[in-house]
A and B are shown apart, each in its own frame.
Chain A
Amino acid sequence: MGILDKKLSLRDRNKMLIGVWEDEDQLMAGASEIAHAGVHIHDIYTPYPVHGLDRIIGARRSKLARIAFFCAVTGLTLMTTMIWYMYVHDWPMNIGNKPVRFTPSWAPVMFEGTVLCTAFGMSFFFFWRNRLVHGIKNEILDIRQTDDRMVMAIETTDGMDEKAVLNMMKNHGAVELREFHNGVQTVL
């Protein structure tokens, strides 16, 4: 499995049912009922983080914390090795008769290097995993999903009762219902 989360892309997908909400409470209730009915929700796009939606759509817990720890250990090792190599191994210097072996005075540089490595390593992973790349084509379903609308996307499967799903969306306050197929949206 690559690092990139393929679930984030809308390309090469079956027909998708799109529901648009204005209210987060109604969206939560709708998403919850649809998920309980056994329908897999592909994704929900919101202009701000709505807590709890990730669990409803079955998103797995992120491994970012573990990645951060790995980057921290790498950074610490790199910095310690660097200081030891320059200061002890390659060219020891007598400055004010201070010791050149490992001393607490190494700690600030080791710490800063660890933080730098963790922050950038983890962020690079975050960008990659989330398909956040400079200049990538936007795959937005509704121009207002970054403003005030919340958009639910459900990928149709064989045997799915599309009408029942659309009804559930409508009953829970979806203000618009659409179909998305081959890059074309149709209002229902």
Chain B
Amino acid sequence: MIHDSIIRDRLVTGDKTASDVTRDIARPILNNPSTAWKVGFTLSLIFLGIFGVSLLYTLFTGIGVWNINKSVMWGWDITNFVFWVGIGHAGTLISAVLLLFRQKWRMSINRSAEAMTIFAVICAAMFPVFHMGRVWVGYWALPLPNAFGSLWVNFNSPLLWDVFAISTYFSVSLLFWYIGLIPDIATIRDKVKSKLGKTMYGFFSMGWTGSTRTWARYELISLILAGLSTPLVLSVHTIVSTDFATSVIPGWHTTIFPPYFVAGAIFSGFGMVATLLVVARKVMNYENYITIGHLDAMTKIIMVTGTIVGIAYITEFFIAWYSGNIYEQYAFTNRMFGPYWWAYWSMMTCNLIAPQVFWFRWARTTPWFIFIMSIVVNVGMWFERFVIIVTSLHRDYLPSSWVMYSGSLTEIGLFLGTFGIFFTCFFLFAKFLPVINMAEVKSILRNRE
């Protein structure tokens, strides 16, 4: 039997009706862009320009303009790749895993988190693609016949698994996002006044009418796609972790990597979702849709996953000692007390210690504080990847191969530039598509049980 819940807090506050939801959420699309949007978009374009310049310099000069060398052959590039892929994971987690668990609070945040997934994967893909150096023969990574120039690909290599994993993840996420968008695009189609708008939204709404038959199938396909995306998201970061774990380099050759990477990905992803949504709910006046309850739930996930990641750091340190392998032991001692100690302890502080503040209700319900903490989480997770990659590589078995590594100006430019790609995409998304899933939010207005 359906009845109104008297125990649970309302997921949408402010006594909104279905037409209020349409009006509030479609407002940025139907009206001219706000000053905040224009300023944000211009800043993003500047960073996008930095990316363009850095990329062109890399392409025309060669990847020698990066500071990577024969010992540290992966530097900022793969750090940034893993960082961005990790960020993307929260979108799938919110839309797929929370759907399977029937967590209705996800409905206000799944759209923007899924968009974030897609934009983050685009940013991530830039790094391994351009690290190839001769990017114009990048298609050799695909399973093409020998006549195309390369031999068949090596199916034993985790780098090839990555090609399949990332491209599948990107295309399935895009499909999931688009199917979720169709009913809302139809709503905009029926609201928008301009002829161009009507044509564009009409084209992408694919003739959606809201028929009961279609809704029933739509809910089923969402459920099956969620069921598919859940193992997919786990597989993607597992495969990313095997890029390291299947090699025999001390510090990388550990079986704990897959679950630890997945937990870290969810942790950093929720950090980025919190960064975006704390700002978006304020600037776009969505406080009744993305409530303090949502922030509370997200920060709890950040705390739990941060703790899992912290336990993984301690476990791998313990196992290095327990293994009796002097190279493993050295790799981990070097991480903590070697020349990159500052990176290791930044990682520990940001990822394990800082999120513990979310045990306190005040910390979980104060937006400005959550915003600061979300930045801390993102900084910490970038350092985690930097620590794993650089500290494991910079002191090889032979002391003659010992080097120090720091990113060059071009590498820094590329990294900052990906924020340009990410935010340019996000601002365009916020202007032209509904940031909150209107159809799903309308279905939870009454807090039905």
Contacts and interface: CB of A to CB of B under 8 A. Distances in A.
B439 interface: yes
Interface string B150-185: 011111111011001100100110011001001100
B235 A112 contact: yes
Interface in A108-143: 108-109, 111-113, 115-116, 118-120, 122-123, 126-127, 129-140, 143
A98 B210 contact: no
A138 B206 CA distance: 8
A45 B212 contact: yes
A62 B216 contact: yes
A6 B337 CA distance: 70
A64 interface: yes
A87 B153 CA distance: 8
Interface residues of A, number: 64
A48 B219 CA distance: 11
A138 B189 contact: yes
Given A62-B217, A147-B191, A53 B212 contact: yes
B17 interface: yes
A146 B186 contact: yes
Interface stretch (A89-97, A154-162, A178-186): A89-97
Contact of B18 (A64, A137, A147): A147
A112 B163 CA distance: 10
B330 interface: no
Among B171, B206, B212, B218, max chain A CB count under 10 A is at: B212
Among A47, A50, A103, A105, max chain B CB count under 10 A is at: A47
Task: Describe B's contact surface by its main secondary structure.
Answer: helix
Contacts of B171: 116, 119-120
A90 B187 CA distance: 52
Contacts of A83: 155
B19 interface: yes
A73 interface: no
Interface in A66-86: 68, 82-83, 86
B19 A147 contact: yes
Contact of B17 (A50, A144, A148): A148
B212 A138 contact: no
Contacts of A145: 209-210
Contacts of A112: 161, 164-165, 168, 232, 235
B400 interface: no
Contacts, number: 194
Bin the interface of chain B by size: 35 or more
B212 A46 contact: yes
Interface string B4-25: 0000000000000111001000
B428 interface: no
Interface string B131-162: 00000000000010010000111111110110
Nearest to A56: B212
Contacts of B235: 108, 111-112, 115
B220 interface: yes
22 contacts: A8-B209, A43-B212, A46-B215, A48-B183, A48-B439, A48-B440, A54-B212, A83-B155, A86-B152, A90-B152, A95-B154, A103-B156, A106-B155, A116-B168, A119-B172, A119-B228, A123-B221, A132-B206, A134-B204, A138-B186, A144-B19, A144-B190
Q: Which 9 A-B pairs have the closest CB atoms?
A: A148-B18, A136-B207, A132-B206, A108-B161, A148-B19, A54-B216, A48-B442, A86-B152, A112-B164
Interface of A: 5, 7-8, 43-50, 53-54, 57, 59, 62, 64-65, 68, 82-83, 86-87, 90-91, 93, 95-96, 98, 103, 105-106, 108-109, 111-113, 115-116, 118-120, 122-123, 126-127, 129-140, 143-148
